[in-house]
Amino acid sequence: MRERIANLTSNILNPFLIGLILIVLASFEATTTVFDTIKWSLILTALSVLPIFLFVVYLVRHDRLDSIFANVREQRTKVYVLAIILAVVSCIILLSLKAPLMLLAAFVASLSANAIFMLVNLYWKISVHTGFITAAVTLLFILYGLTSLASVVLIPLVAWARMELEHHSLAQVFAGALLAIVIVVAVFYLFGLI
């Protein structure tokens, strides 16, 4: 039963879905019209979440990744490289289209996180699931303040699920969470958004 709950938690609160939710929330908060929210959400999803998801599915189907979420450390590098390239492209497009500052900050944070996580991953497996959910909770706190405090329970829930499934150790989920907080807060602070 515990394993089923952990699997369900890990599959629902996965980096792809969390990334999509973050894009929509940041787009909603950064824009003044529904049209702009939809426009930025679609552009940024098409530039980041969708290509990475399709690439991962392709790698799994061609036996280059063990699975979508539970792959060995050495298999992750190519996904990180693509995520970094797409984040750079996204930042360039955001700048050239004069996107809202919050969206640019979110993608600079994403670029920074992917680069740092990839460097760590070269030597040690860090929890991307825990990093993503922690980044999401941190962004929710930046956007909505104390009203988002209840979302904090998602961090230990995801960390527990990843450890219960034996995909990560306590140190790996803690490191993912800590790095995510530091990166998001630092980038949003440098952009003058907190």
Query: Cα–Cα distance between 160 and 100 in angstroms, integer?
Result: 35
Asked whether residue 70 carries a pLDDT value surpassing 70, the answer given is no
Indicate the number of domains in the chain: 1
Asked whether residue 9 carries a pLDDT value surpassing 80, the answer given is yes
As a whole number, mean pLDDT of residues 112-122 equals 95
Asked whether residue 69 carries a pLDDT value surpassing 80, the answer given is no
* pTM of the predicted model over 0.85: yes
**By residue range, what is the domain housing residue 41?**
2-190
Give me 90's structure tokens. Answer: 């996204």
For residue 62, the tally of other CB atoms under 10 A from its CB is 8
Residues 86-112: tens digit of each pLDDT: 999 999 999 999 999 999 999 999 999
Average pLDDT value for the chain: 94
Q: What contacts 159, CB < 8 A, 6 or more positions away?
A: 127, 130, 168, 170, 173, 174, 177
